[in-house]
Amino acid sequence: MTASPEIQEIAIVTGASTGIGAATARELARQGFHVLAGVRRDVDAEAIRATGIEPLILDITNPEHIQALATRVQGDSQGRAVRALVNNAAIQANVPIEAFALDQWRAMFEVNLFGQVAVTQTLLPALIASRGRIINISSVGGKVAMAAYGPYAATKFAFEAVSDSLRRELSPHGVHVIVIEPGAVRTAMLGRAIATAGELVSAMTPEQRQRYGALVHAVNEQAISSTKSGVPAQAAATVIAKAIAARKPRTRYTVGREAALLTMVRFLPDRVLDRVLAAALRPHYPKLPSVYDA
């Protein structure tokens, strides 16, 4: 299904400043949708603005921003239906559970789960009226919780559960809820996650740095290595557009070879999976004393 220029429909993409969100906004506009692209800053709005893309300042943890989005949708001058909501906004930090303060846990859940739920709740009447689609961007971290991915994986596991329940609730009303599970995708999100990890390591106690410094180093090096060989953001955008267009979409789509493999290995016994993940991480540990151990 491609939106007709004569009967243009609205697609909403949160977290559209960079990466998967920006690529998705451009792909959907190319296919004829009028895209409301949620961004955090004016400079991002100007960067994404284009034919078919209308940027909106949208912090999904801000109720006023969400209400402004709903008002924009309800007051659309052309009376266009909402075909799709792409819940993409997210933050990430690769850090051991002991070293991640509770207020940081809460902040991550506010963005990665509660904000997504708030946007979805607000737009559900319009999506039900149009029998539209909800596309929730999860992660392989929503299936496998690797070392130092605990907080991020916790939000994504929860987002997967919400998606399953929502799909079953909305199916009788003609609304498809679809989960996208990307693996390694070349985006700016990794750089931000590594920078955040560095800040958190510097705030650790000496004992925590001794326990986890080398682990954080290895996790970040592994992430950098896998991302270099990962797929471009456009690959994820293509899958998302396919999920919106499919007459009978699947409940889940993976993006990239790594995602497909990890969603399969999760069926291994726990101890076996522990050994597999540890072996994959081992080559990335520092060969010499790490700055993380200082």
H-assigned helices in the chain: 19-30, 42-48, 63-74, 102-109, 115-130, 150-170, 189-202, 206-228, 233-245, 257-265, 270-281
Amino acid at 263: T
User: Which two tokens mark 25?
Assistant: 């906004």
* Contact yes or no for 65/74 (Cβ under 8 A): no
CATH architecture under which domain 10-186+232-268 falls: 3-Layer(aba) Sandwich (3.40)
User: Which two tokens mark 134?
Assistant: 């909800």
Give domain limits for the chain: 10-186+232-268
Global pTM value: 0.92
Across the range 22-40, mean pLDDT stands at 98
Q: Output phi, psi for 54, to 5 deg.
A: -110, 105
* Contact yes or no for 226/281 (Cβ under 8 A): no
In angstroms, the CA 187 to CA 147 distance is 21
Task: Map residue 137 onto helix, strand or coil.
Answer: strand
Catalytic residue, chosen from 152, 212, 253, 292, is 152
Judge whether 292 counts as a catalytic residue: no
To the nearest whole number, what is the mean pLDDT of the chain?
92
In angstroms, the CA 287 to CA 264 distance is 31
Ranking 59-68, 120-129, 140-149 by mean pLDDT, the lowest is 140-149
Q: Could you report the per-residue pLDDT of 134-185, keeping only the tens digit for each?
A: 999 999 999 999 999 999 999 999 999 999 999 999 999 999 999 999 988 8
Amino acid at 205: T
Q: Could you report the per-residue pLDDT of 183-219, keeping only the tens digit for each?
A: 888 877 767 777 777 788 888 999 999 999 999 999 9
In angstroms, the CA 211 to CA 122 distance is 44
Quickly tell me which residue has 């080398």 as its tokens.
214
